[in-house]
Structure 1
């Protein structure tokens, strides 16, 4: 079965900024989907902030194996209810790839449980992205490093939890470095944060960036989901694996527990 991938785009800058519109006349989300299309193992759909329920309806997420998220100007406009819905799907096993300024998105901060803050500078600097884990599936087929001629600088410290793996580290012309490719697992869901992708530069027209994204989708995909991870069921004494006798007082008269 192909990996059902939903590309979520904020779709704000494309409507208001001519430079961004010229870079991405069909929207950043559609260009990202185009980069994924060369992998026959991936089927893509796109949606945006402006769609009902931001395009993240219960039905849409149920049919999504991997969600790609790009946001910047309108993080605060994403409804908290939708954030919780996405988080629950990640806990169940849906993959999540967060791009560039999505580090400040509600969903990434929710799953990281940290400020996700960093230093930045928009000056069109060259970025050299070093592969620090050459054996990682996300780095498959990549050279030891690749360069983006113009990008926004992100610099350390990056206030996120320690990752499972650091796949990429970036160097910028101004001298800063940044952990630009990080993996996490929350519940049963695989998460990858990938730094490049500032909207005023043509980053998502770069074929190496496309290779990273295709690799990331294949890595983040989990063929199994585990909705039971969201539950906290009571196990009655009579259903214990080993025979036991109930003793001592209990607070849970209805056996449902406090939530």
Structure 2
């Protein structure tokens, strides 16, 4: 399995408070948690906004099974062609995991078709992340609830389509709740939103969140390498399928 962790990587370099929590960037913490979970069973790369093509070239995406996306203040800096490129790869089968405020990213809007805006927010709230589908593979090995002493409240209604799979609901100190672990199918790909992950707190160093991220990656990964289908296909003579390459067999131990 090949995983890519994308991060706008802005606040860790511009705000000393965030730099103290994630000195190497949020992407580094997420990647470290995934490496801890998968060991030698996954390759893990990172990419950031300031790289050419934001680090998400056609080659990188073609080799990615699951893309993790963290963003907050630079949604509008992501180029249209990169948003479209990622969208095409998700529709072709690549998994996408939207972390925290990445639910407001343009790629989330492009795939979910709504504004993806929450109704309210507040910093510093305790989060109780309740599993509502305890038999689901994403919930495997997780306590119920996961307790985060401090995070960020996102309030309902959250303007997203009804999820195909709802795994987590979070309760906050002020009584608000959120559908905080939502899965959708888009084309051949799977998309998951995990709300936990406010940048002011070391949430991605939390062992239960790291396990959740690994479980989500397994769920989101395609059974076989994905391939983008071109908009135009050639005329196919009778019997073309006899010489067509066979579909690769699923990798042992991979999701699906």
Provide TM-score, normalisation by structure 2. Answer: 0.88
Find the counterpart in structure 1 of residue 174 from structure 2.
174
1:88 and 1:230 in contact (8 A); partners too: no
Change (3 A) 1:225 1:73: same
Query: Where do 5+ consecutive residues of structure 2 fail to align?
Result: 240-256
Taking the aligned partners of 1:36 and 1:227, their CA distance within structure 2 comes to 24
1:188 and 1:225 in contact (8 A); partners too: no
Taking the aligned partners of 2:202 and 2:120, their CA distance within structure 1 comes to 18
Find the counterpart in structure 2 of residue 203 from structure 1.
203
Offset, 1:227: 3.7
Task: Name the larger-Rg structure.
Answer: 1
Offset, 1:144: 2.0
Of 116-125 and 145-154, more deviation after overlay is shown by 116-125
Find the counterpart in structure 1 of residue 102 from structure 2.
102
1:193 matches 2:198 = no
Taking the aligned partners of 1:56 and 1:125, their CA distance within structure 2 comes to 34
Find the counterpart in structure 2 of residue 30 from structure 1.
28
Offset, 1:234: 8.0
Taking the aligned partners of 1:68 and 1:167, their CA distance within structure 2 comes to 18
Summarize the alignment of residues 113-132 of structure 1 with structure 2, pairs less than 5 Å apart.
113-132=113-132
Alignment size in residue pairs: 237
Offset, 1:226: 5.3
Taking the aligned partners of 1:62 and 1:73, their CA distance within structure 2 comes to 27
Query: What per-residue deviation string (whole Å, max 9, x for no partner) do you get for residues 159-208 of structure 1?
Result: 10111110000000011000000001111001111000010111111010
SS at match of 2:142: coil
Offset, 1:62: 1.1
Change (3 A) 1:228 1:11: closer
Change (3 A) 1:219 1:16: same
Find the counterpart in structure 1 of residue 7 from structure 2.
9
Taking the aligned partners of 2:134 and 2:170, their CA distance within structure 1 comes to 15
2:196 and 2:203 in contact (8 A); partners too: yes
Provide TM-score, normalisation by structure 1. Answer: 0.87
- Which aligned segments of 4 or more residues in structure 1 are displaced greater than 4 angstroms? 232-236
2:88 and 2:228 in contact (8 A); partners too: no
Find the counterpart in structure 2 of residue 49 from structure 1.
49
Query: What per-residue deviation string (whole Å, max 9, x for no partner) do you get for residues 109-154 of structure 1?
Result: 1000111010233331100000001111111111221110001100
Offset, 1:42: 2.4
- The root-mean-square deviation of aligned C-alpha atoms, in Å, is 1.7
